[in-house]
Amino acid sequence: MSEATAAENAIIRINGIHKIFQVGDVEVRALRGVDLTITEGSYVAIMGPSGSGKSTMLNILGCLDRPTRGKYFLGGENVAEMEDDILSQARGKRLGFIFQSYNLIQQLTVIENIQVPLIYQGVDVNAPEHLKRATDLAELVGLGDRLDHRPMQLSGGQQQRVAIARSLVNDPLMILADEPTGNLDSATGLEVLDLIDTLNSEGKTIVLVTHDDFVAERAHRVVHMYDGQIAREVINKGKAVAK
Ligand code: ADP
Ligand code: MG
């Protein structure tokens, strides 16, 4: 792919990103000059030891946190110049999130948890088309018969499936996942990874943080982080980007 084409298909482009956390008198330099372009339809794994900056990077890529300095373009728009509310709108429409600990709301049912991002967008979730969308997604992740269950009535794998359905409800361009199988047994983890593979083969861009080689093998591209920087990148041959 030529550089011009790669730039056109870029969902996210970051350049010279630094993130410094101030903890009392101590500056923690979590990211120290990171450049990364993520193209549409790709599946990128971010690996590295604990503390290397993976979650910080994912949070910045997902516009959950702002860099201390550096450039960030989301679909061609400069994130640094966006007001907070515009940024959260852009995030809600374009990005979906899956976390290690599922982050479901315990008081809400499966269907209500799936609808949470719609509520943030100010959508009437009881409108028939929105109810149908959430129900279809519950079915897609195999929970069509659990719509009224609450998270504590579900297994870990089922909870992560709810989180995956929730991440899809706004039909985002890209899904960001931080150790999505970290709390699951290996068989359940495999099912979740298969589901993520399916989403990618249908065209969703995936960025996934893991410390597990076995998980990273599924990605097209593996970005290895060390000490807040990208130490190296490996392209997984034979894993062409779906188009
Ligand atoms: P990883 O996900 O690779 O384990 P993190 O991105 O969570 O690494 O953390 C990178 C570094 O930044 C670590 O030294 C961590 O302690 C520090 N860090 C992360 N988040 C914060 C925060 N909110 N406040 C202070 N330090 C933080
Ligand atoms: Mg982390």
Query: Is the pLDDT assigned to residue 166 strictly greater than 90?
Result: yes
Query: Is the pLDDT assigned to residue 3 strictly greater than 90?
Result: no
Counting ligands in written order, the one closest to the CA of 228 is 1
For ligand 1, atom 25, name the residue with the nearest CA. Answer: 21
CA–chain centroid gap for 183, Å, is 17
Do residues 207 and 58 lie in contact, with contact meaning Cβ atoms separated by under 8 Å? yes
pLDDT of residue 4: 47
Tokens read off for 205:
């861009």
Find the 54 Cα to ligand 2 centroid distance in Å. 6
Tokens read off for 182:
């970290």
pTM of the model: 0.91
173, 231, 237, 183: which is closest to 207 by C-alpha? 173
* Segment 57-109, tens digit of pLDDT: 999 999 999 999 999 998 888 888 889 888 888 888 889 999 999 999 999 99
Average pLDDT over residues 201-230: 94
Ligand 1 atom closest to residue 49's alpha carbon, by position in its atom list: 3
For ligand 1, atom 26, name the residue with the nearest CA. Answer: 21
Q: Is the CB of 47 under 6 A from ligand 1?
A: no
Which of 38-47, 79-88, 168-177 is predicted least confidently?
79-88
Q: Is the dihedral of CA 191, 58, 164, 10 positive or negative?
A: negative
Q: Where are the domains of the chain?
A: 41-64+81-235
| Protein residues near ligand 2, an ion, with CB under 5 A | 54-55
* Segment 181-203, tens digit of pLDDT: 999 999 999 999 999 999 999 99
Which phi-psi region, left, alpha or beta, contains residue 16 (left: φ > 0; alpha: ψ -120 to 50)?
left
Q: Which amino acid is at 74?
A: L
225 membership: H or E segment, kind and range = strand 221-226
Write down the CATH number for the domain with range 41-64+81-235. 3.40.50.300
